[in-house]
A and B are shown apart, each in its own frame.
Chain A
Amino acid sequence: MADIAAHTKSAASQSEAATQDANAAAIAAFEKRNRMGPFMWLPIIWLCIVIALALFAPLLGLLPADEMDFMALKAAPGAADGHLLGTDHLGRDLFSRVIYGGRVSLTVGFAAPAIGVGLGLILGMAAGYYRGWIDDVVGIAIDTWLAIPGLVILLLFAVVFGGSLFMVCLSLGLLFIPTAARITRAATMKYAGREFVLAARAMGASDRRILVKEILPNVIWPLIAFVLIDIPIAIVVEGALSFLGLSVKAPTPSWGGIIAEGREHLESSPHIALIPTAVMFLTVLSFNLVGDTIRRRMSDVREGAI
């Protein structure tokens, strides 16, 4: 992890021709290994479409997600005019429901990891920098947190705090704290003893200044890779929660919720459950593929491949 900072600096400092040649060869090999194959650009295209549709959903002139068309109950895709993907058991347009549901899934997918990693960063930096009792308290809190299966914690929170989108993001975000805090703590401890921190302290910098200006820029990089892994996890867990009816409240569509409703009609009209399932699967798969590629690149950089 340390080498990221070292790497950014080293690019400037390595001036000898020999090293540059070696670097060029390594970069070429690296580029070859990580060419943008179809497994990189197809997921990116899919994600762009899904995010754009979710983002601009109100401007697209879609049918309202909760408008019931009693002339077309459980219509198969393409069977009823004006319903591209058909309708559900209440005659609501599936295309708009899936798109509006995507807003929930994607909001949670981005917000929850951001919240969790942000809080984990603060806790981990405090524990790793100050050590002592703060470290002990954070350590025990994390152990406790990890002692309950994640879904159980979320069920508990769903009961206690109810189903607003904000609370779903927050309680899901809390799940990502432990790992983020551990990574940050380890990295912070490593940097806290380094020369540039000692120098800053000798110059009279306050703890807060050292944490923000000296340590934060170094420990934040490994966490960004971590956020990438967390996005699909957050989407999946939100899906599971709303499948159980414990995420956002009923009239608001969400992917898991539509799947749960469609499950009741799996035999007569499977498209109600299968369409959101397919959309969610492709989205999670795409996030996984993109995240994996980026992570591999970052670890190549870290391991000194270039």
Chain B
Amino acid sequence: MRFLLRRFQRLVIVMAAVTFVTFILVNVLPGDVAYEMAGMDASEAEVAEIREEIGLNRPLPIRYLEWVGGVFTGDWGRSFINEEDVWHAITQRFPVSIELMLLAQVMALALAVPMGMISAYRPDSRADRIIAGVAFASVSMPSFMTGLLLIYFFSLTLGWLPATGYEPLSAGLWANLKPMILPALSLALVEWTVLMRTLRAEMIGVLQEDYISLARAKGMSNARILWGHALRPSSFTMLTILGLQVARLMGGTIIIEQIFGIPGVGRLLIHAVYTRDFIVIQGCVTFFALAFVLVNFAVDIAYAWLDPRVRQGGKAHG
């Protein structure tokens, strides 16, 4: 309990700092949104009027506190550009981003587990070295480049999958998944390497345990040993990393959503950046940070639950 409380306290401090710093950054800079809203040939007086109207000329701390107060009651402000409610805009798009991230993680796992097993089965074999080489190349290829190549091959050259677009789930499962495959794959092709390496490292150790030798002595097939006996005890670290990666994936989805035209939170943020829609930027950054911190919080709790030593904090022995 004390462990949870301490983590929670930290979470609150961090969120307060994040929102405050973002607020200052977006609000102190010159060329504010009032100019944007007034249009190209507006007079100074008109700009001042708009500023008055949306409350831009009141003191910064007061505006910050008002905004934070609003965050707790679900009032995240309204977009300066199209009047859309920010909280609504984010929550409406969030499921799309979640779907993309989940799909990417599933694909990454589907690549990482078999590859990690093959590598761990005979470390330093030819197969292991080939997989390591592919992983190295794969990690040197940022997701936006992978995405572009996938579009080039699978959409433009082969014409198998659409290059952009999004269909809601109501249009049918396949219709929904089809345009998601390439974007998820672009993310997965970067993420799988870390998972694969973690699994490989841990499984090499597990495969030297006595019960594996026993299973082998009893004549069990290799596939059965790997999948049935070695995978579960080898995958703890990998699962932790999977949790931590969700946080990293959020950054990746921003750019991938942009390339593939997927209407997620990332696209909302980029669009807000292009139009300097500060209240939306503020909302998105807060949302990303909150999601990020909560995921890490959840990973910490899961970890403490799995390993009692973590709960004791500094007093751990051994």
Contact = CB atoms under 8 A, between A and B. Distances in A.
Interface of A: 140-141, 143-144, 147-152, 155-161, 232, 236, 239-240, 243-244, 246, 256, 259, 263, 266-267, 270, 273-274, 277, 280-281, 284-285, 288-289, 292
A141 B17 CA distance: 8
Contact of A148 (B152, B255, B281, B288): B288
B22 A156 contact: yes
Interface string B52-94: 0000000000000000000000000000000000000000000
Contact of B255 (A144, A243, A273, A277): A243
A256 B147 CA distance: 13
A160 B142 contact: no
Contact of B142 (A157, A240, A273, A292): A240
A267 B152 CA distance: 7
B192 interface: no
Interface secondary structure of A, over-half rule = helix
B140 A266 contact: no
A246 B255 CA distance: 12
A158 B29 CA distance: 12
Contacts of B251: 149-152
B15 interface: yes
A259 B148 CA distance: 9
Interface stretch (B114-122, B177-185, B220-228, B269-277): B269-277
B139 interface: yes
26 contacts: A140-B14, A143-B10, A144-B21, A147-B14, A147-B18, A147-B292, A149-B248, A149-B292, A151-B254, A152-B285, A155-B281, A159-B26, A160-B29, A239-B145, A244-B255, A246-B273, A259-B145, A266-B148, A267-B156, A277-B148, A281-B140, A281-B141, A284-B140, A285-B136, A285-B140, A288-B139
Contacts of A147: 14-15, 18, 289, 292-293
Contact of A266 (B17, B152, B288): B152
Interface size class of B (residues with CB under 8 A): 35 or more
Interface in B1-29: 10, 13-15, 17-18, 21-22, 25-26, 29
Interface in B129-157: 136-137, 139-142, 144-145, 148-149, 151-152, 156
A240 B140 contact: no
B152 A288 contact: no
Given A144-B14, A159-B273, A266-B151, 6 more contacts: A143-B10, A148-B18, A148-B289, A149-B248, A156-B22, A277-B149
Interface in B240-281: 247-248, 250-252, 254-255, 258-259, 269-270, 273, 276, 281
B276 A149 contact: no
Interface of B: 10, 13-15, 17-18, 21-22, 25-26, 29, 136-137, 139-142, 144-145, 148-149, 151-152, 156, 247-248, 250-252, 254-255, 258-259, 269-270, 273, 276, 281, 284-285, 288-289, 292-293
Contact of B273 (A148, A158, A259): A158
A48 B25 CA distance: 40
B26 to A, nearest CB: 7
B140 A160 contact: no
B145 A281 contact: yes
Question: Which of B17, B22, B142, B156 has most chain A Cβ within 10 Å?
Answer: B142
Nearest to A151: B251
B14 A232 contact: no
A141 B22 CA distance: 13
A285 to B, nearest CB: 4
Nearest to B258: A244
A284 B190 CA distance: 14
Given A144-B17, A147-B18, A151-B251, A160 B25 contact: yes
B152 A156 contact: no
Nearest to B284: A152
B14 A159 contact: no
Contacts of B247: 149
Nearest to B13: A140
B152 A239 contact: no
Given A148-B18, A266-B156, A155 B26 contact: no
A160 B18 contact: no
Nearest to A241: B255
A159 to B, nearest CB: 5
A141 B14 CA distance: 8
A159 B276 contact: yes
Contacts of A159: 26, 29, 273, 276, 281
